[in-house]
Amino acid sequence: QSVLTQPPSASGTSGQRVTISCSGSSSNIGIYTVNWYHQLPGTAPKLLMYANNRRPSGVPDRFSASKSGTSASLAISGLQSEDEADYYCSTWDDSLNGMVFGGGTKLTVL
Amino acid sequence: QVQLQESGSGLVKPSQTLSLTCAVSGGSISSGGYSWGWIRQPPGKGLEWIGYTYHSGTSFYNPSLKSRVIISLVRPKNQVSLNLSSVTAADTAVYYCVRGADWYRFDSWGQGILAMVSS
């Protein structure tokens, strides 16, 4: 059972907009910024979004993220086949005094 | 751009110690502002933070692993080491070396190394 809750799966067709949610609590998302990672099949995870809504250099603006209260979400617009991957949210948790991850969401592009 | 490369024992017997090394290139582990640590991923499962350490010596570990984990910086070799003792089959996973930056983000990842615990 992960500290951060994500839907196990999500899907969309090419060109669509999809969102992935990440639910936490007052000891993590409620007080810390959220980061997102994506993991293409057979590869290492890679930083996708950080500090709630900032994109690292090289990440297309099709990707966006937001945070409200104890929840966060990742949005992907103009869905492409290469977006098919696992997506993870992460932040610090004061109760555990450590980093926590969501269980991951497998995105399928239909 | 910093690059991380894991190496070490791919097969460990139960109750023994798993030892991994991460070679860092393109940046110094002694530079301020970054943490150096490990994250693992059991086969077919999600990510689990193991811990990280700063060049100052301050370390943070996953409470569920804290009693068995040591993460160290090997400065002369610009490497990060992981020692996980008393391993069981539940410790079988791909282990990733990571660099931590501001905003609690992990901005660089190694390619990962599979470590299996089996007799």
Residues of chain B with C-beta less than 8 angstroms from the C-beta of A53 = none
Please, are residues A47 and A53 in contact by the beta-carbon 8 Å criterion? Answer: no
Q: Would you say B6 and B97 are in contact if contact means Cβ atoms under 8 Å apart?
A: yes
Distance CA(B96)–CA(B22), nearest Å, equals 9
Q: What confidence score (pLDDT) does residue B102 get?
A: 93
Q: Judge whether A2 and A99 are in contact, CB under 8 Å.
A: no
pLDDT, residue A47, reads 98
**pLDDT at position A1, please?**
83
Choose the closest CB to A50 out of B62, B63, B103: B103
The nearest CA of chain B is from the CA of A34 a distance in Å of 8
The C-alpha of A106 sits at a distance from chain B's nearest C-alpha, in angstroms, of 11
Check if B106 contacts A (Cβ < 8 Å): yes
Structure confidence at residue A105 (pLDDT) = 98
Tokens of B46: 């999600």
Chain-chain contact of A44 with B109 (C-beta, under 8 angstroms): yes
A30-48 pLDDT, tens digit each: 999 999 999 999 999 999 9
Digit-by-digit pLDDT tens for chain B (119 residues) are 999 999 998 899 999 999 999 999 999 999 888 999 999 999 999 999 999 999 988 999 999 999 999 999 999 999 999 999 999 999 999 999 999 999 999 999 999 999 999 99
SS3 content of chain A, % helix, strand, coil (to 5): 5, 50, 50
